[in-house]
Amino acid sequence: MKKYCKLIAPLALAGIILASDTVKAGNPDRAGQAGATELLINPWARSSGWAGANMAGARGLEAMFLNVAGTAFTRKTELLFARTQWLKGTDININAFGLTQRVGETGALGLTIMSMDFGDIEITTVDNPEGGLGTYSPQFMNIGLSYAKGFSDNIYGGITLKVITEKTANVSARGIALDAGIQYVAGKNDQLKFGIALKNVGPRMKFSGDGLSFKTPVPAATNGSNVMTVEQRSAQFELPSLLSIGAGYDFYLSKDSASMKTHRITASGAFVSNSFSKDEYKLGLEYGWKNMVMVRAGYTYEKGIFSKEDRTTVFTGPSAGLTVELPFGKNKSTFAVDYSYRATNPFNGTHSFGARINL
């Protein structure tokens, strides 16, 4: 029991510290002050289909986004590819790749790479507002390395180190962040699940590069051709830290399904306390048939979401998704295709497609 306390105590302390910082969550004075907000985007199709409400029961590679403790449930090796049409109509795409590998009896290592593609954007200036000077393409990329471990049949924990890169042609910012999480399962068939996760905790970031410098004449120079380069300093910005707490329960529709798991309905909920945006309440429901066909739906609520004048997010709340997972080979390996939709206004929603191989 002592070794579990060693893991739980630091996370609990960190939770108290972060919670004290998020007391002002939703305060208009803090909204918009954080950067690297792509860290809040879920690039995976399966978990985004029910609004990320399953953070307490997330399993395998996708758990690296919701609650890294869930990657400890990796059976052997899992590969996952995903592509998201972000706010369809903006021509912004998100590509994601992930790999988790079982290590030892109860551990798992994970790697995820997420990249945002904004396409080619016209270069404009005061003298050339219509462009014609060429194009540039911003690049946002996050790389995560994780380790998770099962400490008993009921307690699982994990930690993720993320490297953040944001850049254009001549300006860039780099930073690091940490995620940590715990999951607790109980019940005869692990039907009851609890989870807590800290995300995006790290030092401030800032932009630098030649794009922040300009040339100006040297003061009091007798020759007008004498110029000097002046470098501007950019302000530092915080990371979008958050604290997430959730729970879930599996219901089986027949007496023998507890072992066969033929018909399963999972209800999940989560509360997300954001440091620089409104708090979120997430609810999700998933039906699974033999873990081969899964249909899910979710809803994310935040203050003002029902009012067009008060809503401060493009997302209107509803989400839905579908998974088809088929077994192959002698080792109970599976291949799955995932899809999710997140409703938005304006734009035409966010669509995510995923393909996974679980060896």
In this structure, are 227 and 119 located in the same domain?
Answer: no
pLDDT beyond 70 at 79: yes
Mean pLDDT on 96-116: 96
Nearest by Cα to 198 from 124, 127, 272: 272
How large a percentage of the chain has pLDDT more than 70? 88
241-290 tens-digit pLDDT: 999 999 999 998 876 555 567 899 999 999 999 988 899 999 999 999 98
In this structure, are 224 and 168 located in the same domain?
Answer: no
What is the pLDDT confidence band of residue 80, given thresholds at 50, 70 and 90? very high
What backbone phi and psi angles, to 5 degrees, belong to 163? -105, 125
Question: Measured between alpha carbons, how far is 199 from 84 in angstroms, rounded to an integer?
Answer: 22
pLDDT beyond 90 at 136: no
- CA-CA-CA-CA dihedral for 340, 77, 114, 169, to nearest 10: -150
8 A C-beta contact, residue 147 and residue 108: yes
Range of lowest pLDDT (11-25, 53-67, 74-88, 334-348): 11-25
Indicate the residue type of 228: M
Tell me the whole-structure pTM to 2 decimals: 0.87
pLDDT beyond 60 at 2: no
> Which of 188, 221, 237 is a domain's end point?
237
pLDDT beyond 60 at 23: no
Nearest by Cα to 268 from 286, 280, 253: 286
Res 259: pLDDT: 59
In this structure, are 193 and 229 located in the same domain?
Answer: no
Question: Measured between alpha carbons, how far is 96 from 85 in angstroms, rounded to an integer?
Answer: 12
What residues have CB less than 8 Å from 276, skipping those under 6 apart? Answer: 25, 30, 31, 32, 33, 34, 238, 240
In this structure, are 230 and 246 located in the same domain?
Answer: no
34-58 tens-digit pLDDT: 889 999 999 999 999 999 999 999 9
Q: Specify the length of the chain in residues.
A: 359
**How many C-beta atoms lie closer than 10 Å to residue 225's C-beta?**
7
What is the pLDDT confidence band of residue 215, given thresholds at 50, 70 and 90? confident
Question: Measured between alpha carbons, how far is 327 from 332 in angstroms, rounded to an integer?
Answer: 6
Question: Measured between alpha carbons, how far is 13 from 148 in angstroms, rounded to an integer?
Answer: 20
Question: Measured between alpha carbons, how far is 122 from 133 in angstroms, rounded to an integer?
Answer: 7
Q: Strands 92-103, 77-86: parallel, antiparallel or unpaired by DSSP?
A: antiparallel
Provide the mean pLDDT of the chain: 88
CATH number at residue 170: 2.40.160.60
pLDDT beyond 70 at 239: yes
Question: Measured between alpha carbons, how far is 190 from 226 in angstroms, rounded to an integer?
Answer: 74
In this structure, are 229 and 343 located in the same domain?
Answer: no
pLDDT beyond 50 at 357: yes
Question: Measured between alpha carbons, how far is 344 from 359 in angstroms, rounded to an integer?
Answer: 36
**SS3 label, residue 203:** coil
- In this structure, what DSSP letter does residue 236 have? P
What is the pLDDT confidence band of residue 33, given thresholds at 50, 70 and 90? confident
8 A C-beta contact, residue 275 and residue 30: yes
**SS3 label, residue 66:** helix
Number of domains in the chain: 2
In this structure, are 45 and 114 located in the same domain?
Answer: yes
What is the pLDDT confidence band of residue 224, given thresholds at 50, 70 and 90? low
In this structure, are 131 and 263 located in the same domain?
Answer: yes
Mean pLDDT on 327-353: 95
Mean pLDDT on 155-170: 94
How large a percentage of the chain has pLDDT more than 90? 68
pLDDT beyond 60 at 186: yes
Q: What angle do CA 280, 283, 289 make, to 5 degrees?
A: 150
In this structure, are 135 and 31 located in the same domain?
Answer: yes
State how far the alpha carbon of 52 is from the alpha carbons of 100, 224, 311, 318, in Å: 20, 61, 20, 12
In this structure, are 223 and 243 located in the same domain?
Answer: no
8 A C-beta contact, residue 244 and residue 197: yes
In this structure, are 285 and 348 located in the same domain?
Answer: yes
Res 169: pLDDT: 81
In this structure, are 10 and 143 located in the same domain?
Answer: yes
In this structure, are 66 and 165 located in the same domain?
Answer: yes
Q: What angle do CA 247, 157, 291 make, to 5 degrees?
A: 55
Boundaries of domain holding 14: 2-204+239-358
Structure tokens at 319: 């989400």
